[in-house]
């Protein structure tokens, strides 16, 4: 009796978890409505990525002693915040198959879970950078900054961005 009650409960929890995650996945991977919408979202993501680039330059200057810790914490926090918005900036139909000037590979949508995981990885690396700056430990700061660039940004770019010059 107890055992079967337990397994029924476990099964319904599994069902609810499945529904919640299924629903998230579906809403996260929406198709873009049309060309105007595509241009808009692609412009937004270009601005977001360029903002990430600026924040990384602030952090690099900080690592070289040219910015103070307060500015560096702000830059790393900005990266942390922006990273959570990355998936919403990549609706289906906005990749380099549709737009010649895009660097967004189609594998983004084929491996959507890995893509959202890569943006979560950036969130984590940026949070670790904030903690490192607050610790004022130079070794830890260097390590966190290297990790942020290599695995936070690079972890996604290597697989999902077709970099051109």
- CA distances (Å), origin 159, targets 11, 55, 88, 155: 36, 22, 18, 7
Q: Does 124 bind ligand HEC (CB under 6 A)?
A: no
Q: Does 53 bind ligand HEC (CB under 6 A)?
A: yes
Q: How far is the CB of 51 from ligand HEC (least distance, A)?
A: 9
Distance CA 89, CA 108 (A): 12
> What backbone phi and psi angles, to 5 degrees, belong to 132?
-65, -45
Contact 159/118 with Cβ under 8 angstroms? Answer: yes
Q: Does 49 bind ligand HEC (CB under 6 A)?
A: yes
| Residues 147-156 as b or e (16 or more Cβ within 10 Å = b) | bbbebbbebb
* Interface with ligand HEC: number of residues (CB under 6 A): 23
Contact 110/65 with Cβ under 8 angstroms? Answer: no
The first and second tokens of residue 163, run together, are: 């970099």
Q: Does 157 bind ligand HEC (CB under 6 A)?
A: yes
x-marked contacts with ligand HEC along 57-86 as a string, rule CB under 6 A: ----------------------x------x
Binding to ligand HEC, residues 85-104 (CB under 6 A): 86, 102-104
Q: Which stretch binds ligand HEC (CB under 6 A): 29-37, 68-76, 138-146, 152-160?
A: 152-160
Give residues with Cβ within 8 angstroms of 63, minimum separation 6: 141, 142, 145
Q: How far is the CB of 153 from ligand HEC (least distance, A)?
A: 3
Binding site for ligand HEC (CB under 6 A): 42, 45-46, 49-50, 52-53, 56, 79, 86, 102-104, 115, 118-119, 122, 152-153, 156-157, 160-161
């Amino acid at each position: 009796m107890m055992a079967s009650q337990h397994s029924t409960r476990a099964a319904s929890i599994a069902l609810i978890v499945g529904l919640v995650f299924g629903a998230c996945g579906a809403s996260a991977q929406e198709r873009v409505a049309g060309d105007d919408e595509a241009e808009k979202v692609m412009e937004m993501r270009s601005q977001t990525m360029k903002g990430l680039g600026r924040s990384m330059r602030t952090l690099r200057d900080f690592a070289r002693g040219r910015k103070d810790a307060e500015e560096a914490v702000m830059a790393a926090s900005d990266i942390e915040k922006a990273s959570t918005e990355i998936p919403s900036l990549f609706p289906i139909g906005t990749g380099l198959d549709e737009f010649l000037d895009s660097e967004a590979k189609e594998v983004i949508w084929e491996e959507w879970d890995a893509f959202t995981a890569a943006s979560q990885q950036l969130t984590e690396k940026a949070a670790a950078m904030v903690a490192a700056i607050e610790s004022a430990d130079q070794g830890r700061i260097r390590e966190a900054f290297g990790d942020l660039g290599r695995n936070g940004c690079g972890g996604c770019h290597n697989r999902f961005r077709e970099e051109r010059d």
